[in-house]
């Protein structure tokens, strides 16, 4: 199989989030290093910061190993969105000599424990020796969500704490389907997974088969009418705010929701958007990302 090295530069403030996002979206490995000092003219990968405040941050160079057939434009756009960047950074690709890169890079991915008993385990890893463990088999792929990003971990932990069994759950913006899969494994009676991205729906269907769970998978416009007991959404603050009325229409009094993909500084604005129909709180935070939990009024 042919491979490409994808090289880009971002401010140090965004480097970790961008690396996590690239891995979530299927990069086999990502290395990070300080970019060489120099002006914007001397570095063809460097994009001018969006504000004067951003210019105080040093630059980091990221090099990601990706499959040669990857749609680089789509990958960068999705990763930049997940990392909280306004636009995708400039990048360049170079061919990489054909080697067994999968074998060399699988060592970077191992079982991830979330909460008390939930485990995210790649298919090439042995499941943990945990008699009470709930295992999700999930490999890096073309859709966001392998459990390594803080925004994903926050919702997974919330689901483990909150589900009691028998709930009707909606995962809006399902990506890889990881939240829907977790809900099903945690005892939800009916789980719907929706996403605007057709590739995400394909990835979710494949992961559902791999994990032996049944999900209702569809684009948002094809979702059947009905109320949900629980809604989870790990996207971004802007889309979440526009979805407040739709989520209200899909729930009855007492229904719960968990919203993630929200930077700490955006939490108050998102809570305000949901205030007419939900009692919300910023329930948890990790590495600059906030989870907002709510109850339908």
What pLDDT does residue 257 have? 97
Per-residue pLDDT reduced to its tens digit, 80-134: 998 888 889 999 998 876 555 555 555 556 788 898 889 998 887 888 787 788 9
Among residues 146, 154, 140, 155, which one has the least CA distance to residue 288?
Answer: 154
Got the DSSP string for 85-99? Answer: -SSPPPEEEEEE---
* Model confidence at 166: pLDDT above 90: yes
* Model confidence at 272: pLDDT above 50: yes
What pLDDT does residue 18 have? 92
| Residue 79 CB-density burial (10 A; 0-12 exposed, 13-18 middle, 19+ buried) | buried
- Dihedral sign, CA of 270, 274, 276, 282? negative
* Model confidence at 53: pLDDT above 70: no
Got the DSSP string for 67-127? Answer: ETT--HHHHHHHHHHHTT-SSPPPEEEEEE----HHHHHGGG---EEETTTEEEE-TTSPP
Q: Tell me the C-alpha distance between 217 and 176, whole Å.
A: 11
Q: What is the CA radius of gyration of the chain?
A: 19
CA–CA distance from 180 to each of 83, 134, 189, 193, 222 (Å)?
22, 14, 11, 6, 17
Among residues 138, 173, 185, which one has the least CA distance to residue 257?
Answer: 173
Q: Which of 26-40, 98-112, 250-264 tops mean pLDDT? A: 250-264
Secondary structure class of 21 (helix, strand, coil): helix
Q: Tell me the C-alpha distance between 65 and 8, whole Å.
A: 12
Q: What residue ranges define each of the domains in the chain, with the CATH number in brackets?
A: 3-102 (3.30.70.120), 144-296 (3.40.50.150)
The model's pTM is: 0.69
Q: Tell me the pLDDT band of 283, cut-offs 50, 70 and 90.
A: very high
Q: Tell me the C-alpha distance between 111 and 100, whole Å.
A: 22
Please provide the average confidence, as pLDDT, over all residues in the chain.
85
Among residues 60, 87, 67, which one has the least CA distance to residue 25?
Answer: 67
């Amino acid at each position: 199989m042919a491979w490409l090295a994808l090289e880009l530069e971002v401010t140090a403030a965004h480097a970790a989030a961008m690396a996590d996002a690239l891995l979530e979206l299927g990069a086999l490995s990502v290395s990070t290093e300080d970019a060489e000092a120099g002006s914007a003219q001397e570095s063809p990968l460097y994009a001018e910061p969006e504000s004067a405040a951003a210019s105080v941050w040093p630059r980091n160079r990221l090099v990601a190993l990706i499959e040669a057939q990857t749609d680089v434009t789509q990958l960068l756009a999705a990763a930049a969105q997940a990392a909280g960047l306004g636009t995708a950074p400039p990048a360049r690709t170079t061919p990489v000599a054909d080697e067994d890169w999968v074998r060399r890079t699988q060592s970077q991915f191992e079982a991830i424990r979330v909460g008390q008993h939930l485990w995210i385990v790649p298919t090439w890893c042995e499941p943990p020796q945990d008699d009470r463990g709930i295992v999700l088999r999930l490999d890096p792929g073309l859709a966001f969500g392998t459990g390594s990003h803080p925004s994903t971990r926050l919702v997974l932990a919330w689901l483990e704490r909150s589900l009691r069994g028998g709930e009707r759950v909606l995962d809006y913006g399902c990506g890889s389907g990881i939240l829907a899969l977790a809900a099903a494994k945690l005892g939800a009676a009916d789980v719907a997974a929706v996403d605007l991205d057709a590739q995400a729906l394909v990835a979710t269907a494949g992961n559902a088969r791999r994990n032996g769970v049944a999900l209702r998978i569809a684009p948002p416009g094809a979702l059947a009418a009905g109320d949900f007991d629980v809604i989870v959404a790990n996207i971004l603050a802007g889309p979440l705010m526009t979805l407040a009325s739709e989520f209200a229409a899909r729930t009855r009094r007492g229904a719960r929701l968990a919203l993630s993909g929200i930077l700490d500084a955006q939490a108050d604005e998102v809570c305000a958007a949901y205030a007419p129909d939900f009692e919300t709180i910023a329930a948890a935070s990790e590495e600059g990302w906030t989870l907002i939990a709510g109850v339908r009024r």
